[in-house]
Amino acid sequence: MLIFFKIFQEGIILALQELWSNKLRSFLSLLGIAMGIFCVIAVLSVIDSFQNGLKDSFAKIGNNVVHVTKESWDMQKLTTEWWKYIRRPNPNYKEFVALQKNVKTADAISIRAMMPEQRLIYRENQVENLTVVGSSYDLARMFDLEIDYGRYFTQEEMKSGQDRIILGYVLAETLFPNVEYAIGKSIKFKGRKVKVIGIFKKEGESILGDGFDEVAVIPYNYFRKYFNINSKDLFQIISVKADDGITIEQVSDEMRGVLRGQRHLKPKEEDNFEINHLSLLTGFIDGIFGVVSVAGAFIGIFAILVGAFGIANIMFVSVKERTRIIGIKKSLGAKRIYILLEFLVEAILLTILGGLFGLLLVYLMTIIGNNTIEQFDLFLSQRNIMWGMGISIVIGVLAGFIPALLASRMDPVQAIRS
């Protein structure tokens, strides 16, 4: 054990001497390893960060929520069967009421209709091109919405369709000089006055957008007074949150039976609606991430190979320069395994230094990225650090093995004479 430790120590010292005595050559060789590690680990870090941001965004929407729409969220189906979805009817209020009455596995059920490109006015201030959502009462429970100022709708306000409105935080900041000042004020919507009763808590930017920060919500029954809810141009969706202990499949099956009955579909007829879950989107995104990972790894492998050849070149030169020393060591009784380990440790140390440099570049990338990207946080995980160091060690073994093997097989007499 003491001998191995001594060999390891000498390998580190010789590697550092080699680096110092051939600065440019060593730097260029290490740069190849660093760029390869950077390409591979940077791609993995971006993917991990993006997926983590998606999970946080999906958590806000709800992983136990299913959504009834006329089109599928499966991107493959959406691109190949778009003609079928265009002819389907939107979910409607009658179906929402039927689901409320008959689906026993649901914790909350809501319907919402969204109308983009609307305008709200308060005195001299106005906001254009915003989305106004007409929703039923369970919207807040569905998406865990919190009120920062004021209050949420009452059941009576929702049922009777009173002229009440709740503003997203960013929207309220635009209309009012002070957000708290908005509560109780009347603003104009479609030429009519509506009373502001609440401000949603600020959510901030995420991968899926700003959430409800720039959205205004009014009662569904007020919304349907001024918009044609049967229009095919109107985006309308019914969302159902599964009760505790109920799976998505169970609540989906119960919903499917109710909706088929409402639409008078025969047993052999195909559904003319879709029950979507966020896993459809995540599956599509995971596929994209897989392609990006392969592309990043492919680019990284080429960069690593260039660096590996550079490290191998350094090791061949190092063996050549120390041929006489190798001969002396072997004549004094040094075993072949000790000579091999000496050069192998040197090669591994060189690649580890290159890997550390590559990881440092990735870390700097995350710092710069977090100062420019607001939708999600970039981070360098311990797993990716281990991957980077593991790849560096493997490259060191592969690049240094042949030079180390040649050194260990040298004839001591010929080595000393050279």
226 shares a domain with 93: yes
* pLDDT, tens digit (0-9, with 9 covering 90-100), for 29-69: 778 788 888 888 888 888 788 777 776 666 666 678 888 88
312 shares a domain with 260: no
* pLDDT, tens digit (0-9, with 9 covering 90-100), for 101-155: 998 888 889 999 888 888 898 888 888 888 888 999 888 888 778 888 999 999 9
Residue percentage of the chain with pLDDT more than 90: 8
Domain that holds residue 180: 89-272
Cα separation, 312 vs 304, in Å, equals 12
pTM for this predicted structure: 0.65
42 shares a domain with 104: no
Q: Which two tokens stand for residue 243?
A: 């009760």
Q: Which helix (H) or strand (E) holds 192?
A: strand 192-200
Residue position matching structure tokens 């100022």: 149
Cα separation, 208 vs 38, in Å, equals 28
| 3-state secondary structure at position 380 | coil
Which of 272, 304, 324 represents a domain boundary (last residue)? 272
* pLDDT, tens digit (0-9, with 9 covering 90-100), for 162-214: 999 999 888 888 888 888 888 999 999 888 899 999 999 887 665 555 578 88
CA distances from 61 to 65, 103, 115, 119, 251 (A): 8, 21, 20, 26, 17
Which of 272, 292, 308 represents a domain boundary (last residue)? 272
Which of 246, 272, 298 represents a domain boundary (last residue)? 272
261 shares a domain with 123: yes
293 shares a domain with 246: no
333 shares a domain with 398: yes
383 shares a domain with 297: yes
Residue position matching structure tokens 């050849």: 309
**Domain-located, residue 68:** no
Would you state the pLDDT for residue 410? Answer: 84
Using only C-alpha atoms, the chain has a radius of gyration, in whole angstroms, of 33
Enumerate residues 6+ apart whose C-beta is below 8 A from 90.
69, 70, 230, 232, 234, 235, 236
Q: Which two tokens stand for residue 331?
A: 């004549």
**Helix residue spans in 322-335 (DSSP H):** 323-331
CB 392 within 8 A of CB 351: yes
Residue ranges of E strands in 91-191: 106-122, 125-135, 147-150, 164-167, 186-189
Q: How many domains does the chain have?
A: 2
Segment among 84-93, 222-231, 372-381 with least mean pLDDT: 372-381
195 shares a domain with 319: no
194 shares a domain with 116: yes
252 shares a domain with 203: yes
98 shares a domain with 119: yes
Q: Which helix (H) or strand (E) holds 316?
A: helix 278-321
